[in-house]
Amino acid sequence: MKNRFAVVCAVIAVMPCSFAMAAGPDSAGMRRDTLSLSLDSCRTLALENNPYILNAGLDVYAARARKQEALAEYFPKVSLNAFAFHAFDPMLELGITDILGESDFSSNLESLLGSLGETYGFNPVYSTLRHGLMANVSVMQPIFAGGRIVNGNRLAALGVEAASLQKNIKTRDISEEVERGYWQIISLEEKLHTLDKMQELVDTLYRDVSAACTAGLAKENDLLQVRLQKNSLRSGKISLKNGIRVAKMNLFNSIGVRYNPYSTIANDSIPYIDDIVLSDRFGTFASPDRYYRPEDEVVANQDETRLLEISVRSVQLEKKMAMGEALPQIGAGVSYGYSELVTDGRMNGAVYASVQIPLSDWGKTARKMQQYDSKLQKARNEKEYLDAQLLLQVRKLWLDLESAWEQLQVAKENVDVARENVRDQTACYKAGMLPVSDLLQAQTQLQEADNEYIDQCIEYVVALNAYLDRTEK
């Protein structure tokens, strides 16, 4: 699959050398290394370590091996044969009556030879095949096999292409999954940053309200409301930090990055999870109009579209191979070897040809053809339906992208409005025209607007990349 993102130049071999290194203080005040991961490096690590992508690569390897296996059918089959035996009694015995048949003449002749044999020491009965040895080398070259060799090789080539396309699809899916996990962490970290800013506002407000209470200008209830808001923010930060760690563990497991989840257990070879930081942040967002591609063109370039074509073509080749079983098969061969059976041992050779014409399988093959006709029509029906589904998917990706862009604009405007509202409410509170509860509510609304804006940024980035994954080929 063509990757629209730049691949990291250095292959990740040793983790401390794989990422940008920075130093940061730990809880004891000592400095420790911080590892920085970009989105591109996470994708590269996923390609190297994700088991599903590795297995897809093994499927491609197996498909290529099957293609080489099918290619071997073009070449002669060479075999070495050897045979030896020893019988308790001769397997062949021939006497005069066996040759001339039962008659008075043959009986008299056999009796005469029997008496002469006793006198001169020979056996009138010829016996052989009590032991023997034969060894030869044969070469058989298929000349015509009903088209099964040619079509089998074409089918194997389609298998390699299908496995490669499946790997591309799996790579794209894993890449999108890694990207969603990456941006989820960024989203949580941005929300934590928002809580930090809100904490600063509430801390400032707490000092002001505390001073006002000391001077008798504010009620103790106002100070309690601010303290409740401070505790709410502290609780939110604890939850977010835990969520960030869990999201990181999920991402690192999927890309094969080792980490130490416990700050209390030192491990110099494995970094603490909080010391692995994600470096990418939101950039400038452009309107989706600049990325639009004609939907028919996009669908035609999809790996899934080619897979559907392969599924139909595969059934067609399977049908031809089944038909080849009922066609004549022609081969030629040569054999040469040593034989010691009836006669004394000697070398000999032979050239031969074979023709096999199936006569009784036409009815069976005709039924097979009907089955493959049904199977082929099913494949075509599925292709037609799934082509329409692919078109629907591309259209949905574009609509989701447009919707995410519009939602992003609304969220951005809400942040501006909420920030302006906080400024106005703060001025009114300082002028004594507004209770502290209203100011706290305005700050809460700003926090919610910031969080919504972050979520919409993530939605737009994910929607954009999902669309580009299918259009930039």
Does position 372 have pLDDT exceeding 80, yes or no?
yes
Q: What is the rounded CA–CA span in Å between residue 432 and residue 382?
A: 72
- Tell me whether residue 334 is in a domain: yes
Q: What is the rounded CA–CA span in Å between residue 25 and residue 11?
A: 29
- Tell me whether residue 7 is in a domain: no
Q: What is the rounded CA–CA span in Å between residue 253 and residue 182?
A: 12
Q: Which domain holds residue 455?
A: 15-22+33-92+133-471
Q: How confident is the model at residue 29 (pLDDT cuts 50, 70, 90)?
A: very low
What pLDDT does residue 250 have?
Answer: 94
Q: What is the pLDDT of residues 34-52, one digit of tens each?
A: 789 999 999 999 999 999 9
What pLDDT does residue 325 have?
Answer: 84
- Tell me whether residue 117 is in a domain: no
Copy the structure tokens of residue 141.
């070259």
Q: What is the pTM assigned to this prediction?
A: 0.76
What pLDDT does residue 33 have?
Answer: 65
- Tell me whether residue 170 is in a domain: yes
What pLDDT does residue 98 have?
Answer: 67
Does position 414 have pLDDT exceeding 90, yes or no?
yes
Q: How confident is the model at residue 450 (pLDDT cuts 50, 70, 90)?
A: very high
- Tell me whether residue 288 is in a domain: yes
What pLDDT does residue 434 have?
Answer: 82
| Count: domains in the chain | 1
Copy the structure tokens of residue 178.
């890694």
The rounded mean pLDDT for the chain is 85
Does position 9 have pLDDT exceeding 50, yes or no?
no
- Tell me whether residue 414 is in a domain: yes
- Tell me whether residue 5 is in a domain: no
Evaluate whether 279 touches 36 at the Cβ level (below 8 Å): yes
Q: What is the rounded CA–CA span in Å between residue 394 and residue 434?
A: 52
Q: What is the pLDDT of residues 46-78, one digit of tens each?
A: 999 999 999 999 999 999 999 999 998 889 999
Q: What is the rounded CA–CA span in Å between residue 47 and residue 42?
A: 9
Domain CATH code at residue 336? 1.20.1600.10
Q: What is the mean pLDDT of residues 9-32?
A: 37
Q: Tokens 């099913």 sit at which residue?
A: 378
Q: What is the rounded CA–CA span in Å between residue 272 and residue 254?
A: 17
Q: What is the rounded CA–CA span in Å between residue 78 and residue 75?
A: 9
Q: What is the mean pLDDT of residues 127-132?
A: 75
Q: How confident is the model at residue 111 (pLDDT cuts 50, 70, 90)?
A: confident
User: Mind spelling out the 3-state secondary structure of 366-383?
Assistant: HHHHHHHHHHHHHHHHHH
- Tell me whether residue 8 is in a domain: no
